Structure 1
Amino acid sequence: MVKHRALELARQSDRPGGAGVALTPLGESRLVEVKLDPAARTAQITLKGPEQVVLERNADWYPLRLARELDRAILDLRHNQLDVGLWVLKTRGRVEELLEMDQLLEKNKNDWFVREVIGYLRRTLSRLDVSSRSMFALIEPGSCFAGTLLEIALAADRSYMLDAEGGPNIALSPLNFGTYPMANGLSRIETHFCGEVPSVPRNEMLDSGRAGKLGLVTSTPDEIDWEDEVRIALEERASLSPDALTGMEASLRFAGPETMLTRVFGRLTAWQNWIFQRPNAVGDQGALKVYGTGSKAKFNWERV
């Protein structure tokens, strides 16, 4: 009976018969580069854009390999670098090619293989959302925060975009509007604007001036202020209580409709289990115990 039902359901699939696409071992990273700074408790994660825009049914196809490498990097940092509490997100490539790749994904979204890859990207981006780490996106010359990769900047707690002549551009594609929903059921751009998304152009280059006016980025320092503003922001965030940050980050990332996932990741785990019960708050040298004494709290920097 069970076998009969399973075969009946399998016949409804639009996936062709025969072998699927083998997920071969990743080996050395080609698209995602991670640089650790243990002293500053930061990790720089750089994602590379595609070299060519084609549809290839293999494990090295750019969107699939990118999702797998980013997934691996996230898990490695979460489990093996517990005291690295701030991830600095960067990209490198051409905005035009990212938009072309998104057009390819959109055009072929009903193809079984492309559909599975889009699902892999969605799950990987969601893993970024539920990581108890601070995330800042730095948009510099040579960046390619466009379409699918713009989701990285929208997932970040803050995004800094250099305001300079000939500076970087960002761009939105149709995939930014519902293809990669968050735990709250909204797209990242909907969550970014608390459900009231302004009229924003799609498949169009946006410089720092337009991106800032539209509210797509947090800050647009010029060349004079860039280095100091970014440095101070990174140092400030890395100095705060990891437990308190976990709660504040979850509140920021899971605004909007409440779902079972947001209850688990944004409320129960982040707030009740970590902030008010751990030594960083209530220990002998925790923030609540030394408050008002003039003494400085001493934190355990490990994230969970």
Structure 2
Amino acid sequence: RAIVEADGDAQKDGPGIKLNPLEVERGADGGREYKYVSLKLNAVGRYADLTVRGPEADLPTGLEEIARLGDAYWPLRAYRELDDALLHLRVNQLEIGLVCLRTEGDIDRVLAADKVLVENRDHWLVREIILHMARVLRRLDLTAKSFFALVEPGSAFAGNLLELALSADRTYMLDDPDQLVEMASSELNAGALPMSNGLTRLASRFLAEPEQAAEVLGHAGRFDTGAAESAGLVTFAPDELDWEDEIRVAIEERTSLSPDALTGMEASLRFAGPETHDTKIFGRLTAWQNWIFQRPNAVGPQGALTNYGKPTQPQFDYKRT
């Protein structure tokens, strides 16, 4: 049926593109280095640093040029690399409980890439690239690890990369008047990259205040730290004196908690709004019924529920997947 549907696409024009194997350097510690993505692991601290880099130069704007680039086109290659890194974390790095998300690059180039995607979204190749980006972002949403987004000088949390910050459980943005720290939205944030609940990440964040999501999308220009905090886009905005200590304490705090309790609470908070088939299978229900209540962290001899009301502390298995 999928082949029939694909062949029946009247808008398909020209040959497809080849998805070549990703070029990746694998570190002895489990870290990975791609062209646009870096993954560094801290096994002792049970957290990882995941960085996504924006385009290195101005991207082509014509469909023929995009097709010639094929799988080297930044929106496709960067998100394929991000997908591979997320799968590596899920399958091979079970004790990594927290992922610190960072971005690097030129915000204008990221927004320009979004503009090209939006203007050509009716073309079959661009449409498939956008759909792939949306799937990878949902993979991040459905990954049972904590995510902190760290917005620092040189960050490129704009447009499609802003979705990384919106998907995070917490977002920290540096408040330093001597350094430029900014975020920005684009038309892609308005619905092209939906979550499993069918909503945009902005709509999920501002479920009780839909007008706030509209204000963010309608905001002219970029958000500095003060504007981002006022708009509700960040959780905390430490100044330059407290930044390192605040981030260190936040990491240590998060990784010390029961990983199963975090999985349940994060699933409940990430998927606000309507319950869909996807969220029933992968979201709150699975987190609580099929994972938490059957795990030793809750009901085992050293579990939290077993030790509740006793003068003993639970012993947690920190594996998460």
TM-score interval, smaller chain: over 0.9
- SS of residue matched to 2:71: coil
The alpha carbon displacement at 1:196 in A equals 2.6
Identity among equivalent positions (%) equals 51
Which residue is 2:307 aligned to?
A: 290
Aligned to 2:29: none
Task: Tell me what 1:54 maps to.
Answer: 60
- Please, which of 20, 24, 27 is the counterpart of residue 24 of structure 1? 20
After superposition, where does 1:216-255 map in structure 2 within 5 Å? Answer: 216-255=233-272
Which SS does the other structure have where 2:20 is aligned?
coil
TM-score (normalised: structure 1): 0.94
Structure 2 counterpart of 1:180, from 193, 209, 216: 193
CA distance in 2, matches of 1:33, 1:203: 31
Given that 2:174 and 2:238 are in contact with CA atoms closer than 8 Å, whether structure 1 keeps it comes out as: yes
8 Å CA contact retained: 2:271, 2:284: no
C-alpha distance in 2, partners of 1:24/1:130? 26
Number of residue pairs the alignment of both structures matches: 299
Cα shift at 1:195: 5.4
Instruction: Give the conservation status (yes or no) of the 8 Å contact 1:144–1:170.
Output: yes
Q: Note the C-alpha offset of 1:111.
A: 1.4
Mapping for residues 2-81 of structure 1, pairs under 5 Å: 6=4, 10-17=7-14, 19-28=15-24, 29-51=34-56, 52-55=58-61, 56-57=66-67, 58-81=70-93
Instruction: Pick closer, same or farther for the CA change 1:234–1:6 going to 2, 3 Å.
Output: closer
Q: What does residue 170 of structure 1 align with?
A: 183
Question: What residue number does 2:30 align with?
Answer: none
Q: How far apart are residue 181 of structure 1 and its match?
A: 0.5
Which residue number corresponds to residue 112 of structure 2? 100
Cα separation, 1, equivalents of 2:208 and 2:74? 31
State whether residues 50 and 99 of structure 2, in contact with CA within 8 Å, keep that contact through their aligned partners in structure 1: yes
Q: Any residues of structure 2 matched to 1:119-268 within 5 Å, and which?
A: 119-165=131-177, 166-194=179-207, 196-197=209-210, 198=212, 199-200=215-216, 201-202=218-219, 204-268=221-285
Once the 2 structures are TM-superposed, how far is the Cα of residue 202 of structure 1 from its aligned partner? 4.1
Q: Mean alpha-carbon deviation: is it higher for 94-103 or for 191-200?
A: 191-200
| Residue 203 of structure 1: how far off its partner (Å) | 5.5
Q: Cα gap change, 1:12/1:75 in structure 2, threshold over 3 Å: closer, same or farther?
A: closer
TM-score of the two chains, using structure 2 as the length reference: 0.89
1:86-97 aligned at under 5 Å gives the runs 86-97=98-109
Say which is worse superposed, 212-221 or 46-55, in terms of deviation.
46-55
Structure 1 runs (4+) greater than 6 angstroms displaced: none
1:300 counterpart SS class: coil
**Does the 8 Å contact 1:250/1:270 carry over to 2?**
yes
Q: Which blocks of at least 5 consecutive residues in structure 1 are unaligned?
A: none
Range 20-29 or range 206-215, more displaced: 20-29
Gap regions ≥5 residues in structure 2: 25-33
More deviation, 278-287/135-144:
278-287
- Distance of aligned partners of 1:285 and 1:20 in 2 relative to their CA distance in 1, 3 Å threshold: same
Q: Relative to 1, partners in 2 of residues 1:302 and 1:6: Cα closer, same or farther, differing over 3 Å?
A: closer
Separation (CA, whole Å) in 1 of partners of 2:187 and 2:289: 37
Q: Residues 11, 78 of structure 1: CA spacing in aligned structure 2 closer, same or farther, 3 A cutoff?
A: closer
Q: Deviations over 1:96-123 (max 9, x none)?
A: 1111111111111111111110011000
- The letter of the residue matching 1:27 is E
Q: Distance in 2 between matches of 1:231 and 1:160?
A: 12
CA distance in 2, matches of 1:180, 1:121: 7
- Which amino acid counterpart does residue 50 of structure 2 have in structure 1? I
- Cα distance 1:185–1:50, how it changes in 2: closer, same or farther (>3 A)? same
**Offset of 1:230 from its aligned partner?**
1.1
